[in-house]
């Protein structure tokens, strides 16, 4: 015999009648957890039932239109369906481990719900530009087969903060309608410290509303926030996110792995990774793309163009390798080894050795 408390049943029906899907789901999960102690079969059936998105969302046959700005009528969201990625991203071990853990939880919702638990719902990505934060959101959408909705918070900020609040609320409400990944880019544009005296009270209230919305985020979707400036985030923000992934510029071994995946030869990828250490993947990708185009349009060597681009990009920061870079530069200009040796004041065998190490001779 299943025993439900009168108060528990009343609250469940009340929230269902009001159409409050989030509160209804929370009460269902609590009830399932209690039932599991006495009737595991029924608990399992109910857990399976609430996984049905039509039940969870109360979906209708007429989906809501994509939210737009009230004045400009421009769409507030970029919506994309990502079926697969052209290449597998390269992350350090810690980032890869956390991302795979998120996917594992989202792919195993049923056993978690049966145990009265929820899969991860909120993730914060922190780090400088170009290190893979947006790529991570795309990767999650691809792995979980969910549409990716992107809101750049810096673009919806307005001098009329009440309007900004309405825009954010309409986006969040839209994203709750069906399973998705919602990416809040430039998260720090809104979620600033509320103790900053330079900010007006309306912005502080906006932060409070945003935090409350995160607290109410439904289990069926994943909320991902990305920031380049974690130092200005409100302290209360950090507690709202179940996973925080701190990205940094790639190490030399990761860069070497990436260069190899782009067709750069072993000797060159090894040496070039040392030159490019500390440079973001976004910049490295740009250099590779330029070099590939140069090979097609100018009949130039891909690897030669890549070396030259890398030297231009960051050679000035590698004073300890000045001679090596100077030798490479002379070589790329078509000078002979003997001429290069005379120019840099080194022996001919030394120049040949350095070029061999770079894989260009």
- Could you give the CA distance from residue 112 to residue 333 in angstroms, rounded to a whole number? 62
* pLDDT > 90 fraction of the chain, expressed in percent and rounded: 30
- Could you give the CA distance from residue 2 to residue 113 in angstroms, rounded to a whole number? 19
Interval 6-14 mean pLDDT? 73
Indicate the Cα dihedral angle 223, 229, 232, 234, nearest 10°: 10
> In this predicted structure, what is the pLDDT of residue 67?
79
> In this predicted structure, what is the pLDDT of residue 133?
94
* pLDDT > 70 fraction of the chain, expressed in percent and rounded: 81
pLDDT band at 172 (very low <50, low <70, confident <90, very high): confident
- Could you give the CA distance from residue 133 to residue 354 in angstroms, rounded to a whole number? 36
Tally: H helices and E strands in the chain:
18, 6
> In this predicted structure, what is the pLDDT of residue 141?
93
> In this predicted structure, what is the pLDDT of residue 110?
83
Place of tokens 């349009």: 297
In order of start, what are the domains of the chain with their CATH numbers?
Answer: 6-57 (no CATH), 78-246 (3.40.50.300), 252-357 (no CATH)
- Give pTM, 2 decimals: 0.76
Sheet bearing 181-185, strands edge to edge:
78-80, 148-152, 181-185, 222-227, 122-126, 243-246
Q: Kindly report the number of other CB atoms within 10 A of residue 256's CB atom.
A: 23
Q: For helices 322-332 and 337-344, what crossing angle results, to 10°?
A: 140
Q: From the centroid of its chain, how far is CA 156?
A: 20
Dump pLDDT digits (tens) for 88-119: 899 999 999 999 999 999 999 888 888 888 89
Half-sphere exposure of 332 (CA within 13 A, CB side): 21
């Amino acid at each position: 015999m299943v025993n439900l408390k009168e108060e528990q049943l009343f609250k469940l029906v009340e929230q269902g009648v009001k159409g409050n899907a989030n509160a209804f789901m929370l009460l269902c999960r609590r009830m399932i957890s209690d039932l599991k102690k006495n009737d595991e079969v029924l608990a399992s059936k109910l857990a399976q039932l609430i996984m049905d998105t039509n039940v969870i969302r109360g979906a209708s046959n007429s989906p809501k239109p994509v939210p737009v700005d009230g004045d400009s009528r421009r769409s507030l969201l970029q919506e994309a369906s990502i079926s697969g990625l052209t290449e597998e991203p390269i992350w350090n071990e810690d980032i890869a481990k956390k991302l795979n853990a998120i996917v594992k939880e989202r792919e195993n919702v049923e056993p978690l719900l049966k145990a009265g638990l929820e899969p991860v719902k909120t993730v914060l990505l922190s780090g400088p530009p170009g290190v893979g934060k947006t790529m991570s959101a795309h990767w999650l959408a691809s792995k979980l087969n969910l549409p990716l909705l992107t809101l750049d918070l810096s673009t919806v900020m307005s001098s009329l903060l009440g309007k900004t609040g309405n825009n954010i609320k309409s986006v969040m409400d839209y994203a709750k309608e069906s399973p998705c990944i919602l990416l809040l880019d430039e998260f720090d544009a809104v979620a600033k410290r509320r103790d900053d005296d330079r900010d007006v009270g309306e912005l502080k209230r906006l932060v409070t509303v945003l935090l409350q919305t995160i607290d109410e985020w439904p289990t069926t979707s994943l909320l991902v926030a990305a920031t380049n400036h974690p130092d200005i985030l409100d302290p209360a923000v950090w507690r709202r996110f179940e996973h925080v992934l701190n990205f940094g510029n790639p190490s030399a071994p990761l860069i070497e792995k990436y260069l190899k995946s782009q067709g750069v030869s072993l000797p060159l990828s090894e040496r070039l990774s040392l030159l490019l250490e500390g440079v973001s993947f976004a910049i490295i990708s740009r250099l590779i793309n330029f070099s590939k185009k140069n090979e097609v349009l100018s009949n130039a060597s891909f690897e030669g163009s890549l070396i030259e681009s890398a030297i231009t990009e960051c050679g000035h920061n590698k004073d300890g390798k000045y001679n090596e870079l100077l030798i490479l530069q002379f070589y790329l200009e078509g000078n002979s080894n003997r001429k290069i040796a005379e120019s840099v004041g080194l022996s001919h065998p030394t120049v040949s050795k350095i070029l061999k190490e770079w894989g260009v001779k």
